Structure 1
Amino acid sequence: MPDARHRRGGGDERLGDGAAGIDPPAAPGDEVRHLRPDGRRLPVPPGLLFDLSFLLAAPVWLLMIFVPAWGPTRRIAASPLTAVPVLLVWTALVVPVAPDFWAAVSNPAVDRFRELAALPGGAGAIWAQIIAWDLLIGQWIYLEGRRLAVHPLAMGPLLVLTVFLSPLGLLLFLVLRALRTRTAASAPAPVPAAAPGPDGPVRAG
């Protein structure tokens, strides 16, 4: 006769197999990421807003990189309002963590920013702020490049670099801008055309 404990063990194993389709409870980290510091659930997941901040800026970058000579591109890049949608996302992210965000920026320290980045929306708010300012820096680089007649094949890679590493992109463009400005200043001024007289052009001398 089989041992009762063995039969109970087999039944437990069968029960475990049947319960395999039940979803396990959410991990504590997954739940915390969607909660405010006071424990209330955030209305919009911070991860969604994190992704949205760059998606709102991406069309302007694409225009400046791939169709720089298109008329609407220059008009769009000349407007600072391009950053407004990203700043609205920043507002939605920063409001739930406003006290912690203010504590970090008003008295900056590495530990405070580390704590802020660990909060729901904290890292997203920092990211959205970076996206907004990088976009405005990129628009200025684009407009200055057009004014100085820098070739699009040179400006395109520079703008792509600015998307990922804006400090380095800005630094390289400032060097390029200084060289371009110095070259233009040292170029000889064009000789004005002689004004035509009653009997034809007046010759100098």
Structure 2
Amino acid sequence: MSWLQGLMMILRVLVVVTCLSAAIASPISGRWRPLAFTALHTSLSPYAVPLRCKASPRAIAWNGGSIHGGLLHLTSLSSAADVGNSFVDALPALLQPSAVFTASNAFVLPFWALMVIAPGAQVTEKLMRSVTPFIVLGLLYLWLAVISSTFPEAVEGLGQGAGQLPVLTKAFSLEPVVATGWVHFLAEDLFVGRWVYLDGRKNDVPIRHSCLLSLLFGPLGVVSHLVTRDIVRRLREAKDGATGEPAVEDVLLKGSR
């Protein structure tokens, strides 16, 4: 079993635990939550095995399964997309991909605002030297990846990597996959912005414009910072090599601290 198959197996186990918890323990309006046990069979394939568990006969009938000898036999869904949809529909509102997407956006904005508006503030430097934001984003990303793994199209598309653009495009047509990719972008962009900020503070280089570009256009922020740093370095070398020259770099640095 390759490392990718092993990772997907771990994610699927997490899906199974969540599905069983929601289906067995959460009645709604006197009825069992209609989270299809059938989804588990499809999402676990080709590693699926009969699951031994206790469940309401009504819940089993609702979801098209049957119990024989204490074993829950699961039937396939008519549409593979129903696997992920059934899982997502059973989640609490705060754990839905759309809610995680919104929360992730709100989470990163204060860090960007501080780097652009108050780069010299002590609180800004303290926050940007911390790794906590990336741990939080990493956990949000992991949760969205678990949700995405319940969609066969996502597993197929992401499993094949960037080798086949049409397959990857199909995978990103799913809302949970888009949310997963977006949190990926948020984390990577913030990491880049953090590097620009810390490097700029270390070398006493203007950083507001580069941090803003990192927020909006990612890699362009890095290019902007490298160019700015080189210009400032050359101006400082020119100043050191001549007497009576105006401190041009002081004009660039004014208001950036």
TM range (shorter): 0.5 to 0.7
The residue aligned with 2:71 is none
**Structure 2 gap segments, 5+ residues each:** 1-81, 242-257
Q: Distance in 2 between matches of 1:36 and 1:86?
A: 26
Write the deviation string for residues 43-90 of structure 1: whole angstroms up to 9, x where unpaired. Answer: 132111111112111111111111211112112112233222222211
The alignment partner of 1:121 has SS state of helix
Contact 2:161-2:168 at 8 Å conserved across structures:
no
The alignment partner of 1:136 has SS state of helix
Sort the Cα spacing of 1:125 and 1:71 in 2 relative to 1 into closer, same or farther, 3 A. same
**Structure 1 gap segments, 5+ residues each:** 1-34, 190-205
Matched, 1:104 2:158: yes
Matched, 1:158 2:214: no
Matched, 1:118 2:159: no
Compute the displacement of 1:188 (Å).
3.4
Amino acid at match of 2:143: A
Write the deviation string for residues 103-138 of structure 1: whole angstroms up to 9, x where unpaired. Answer: 526521322321221223100000000000100100
TM-score of the superposed pair, with normalisation by structure 2: 0.53
Instruction: Work out which structure has the larger RCO, using CA pairs closer than 8 Å and 6 or more positions apart in sequence.
Output: 1
Match of 1:176 among 217, 228, 232: 228
Sort the Cα spacing of 1:149 and 1:95 in 2 relative to 1 into closer, same or farther, 3 A. same
CA RMSD of aligned residues (A): 2.7
Map residues 55-66 of structure 1 onto 2, 5 A cutoff.
55-66=106-117
Q: Distance in 1 between matches of 2:103 and 2:226?
A: 30
Map residues 130-145 of structure 1 onto 2, 5 A cutoff.
130-145=185-200
The residue aligned with 1:40 is 87
Amino acid at match of 2:233: T
Amino acid at match of 1:76: L
Q: Distance in 1 between matches of 2:113 and 2:107?
A: 11
Compute the displacement of 1:141 (Å).
0.6
The alignment partner of 2:200 has SS state of helix
Contact 2:205-2:229 at 8 Å conserved across structures:
no
Compute the displacement of 1:182 (Å).
3.9
Write the deviation string for residues 178-203 of structure 1: whole angstroms up to 9, x where unpaired. Answer: 223344456539xxxxxxxxxxxxxx
Q: Percent identity?
A: 22
The residue aligned with 1:148 is 203
Contact 1:37-1:119 at 8 Å conserved across structures:
no
Contact 2:196-2:225 at 8 Å conserved across structures:
yes
Amino acid at match of 1:171: V
Contact 2:145-2:177 at 8 Å conserved across structures:
yes
Q: Distance in 1 between matches of 2:147 and 2:113?
A: 32
The residue aligned with 2:67 is none
Amino acid at match of 2:177: G
The alignment partner of 2:87 has SS state of coil
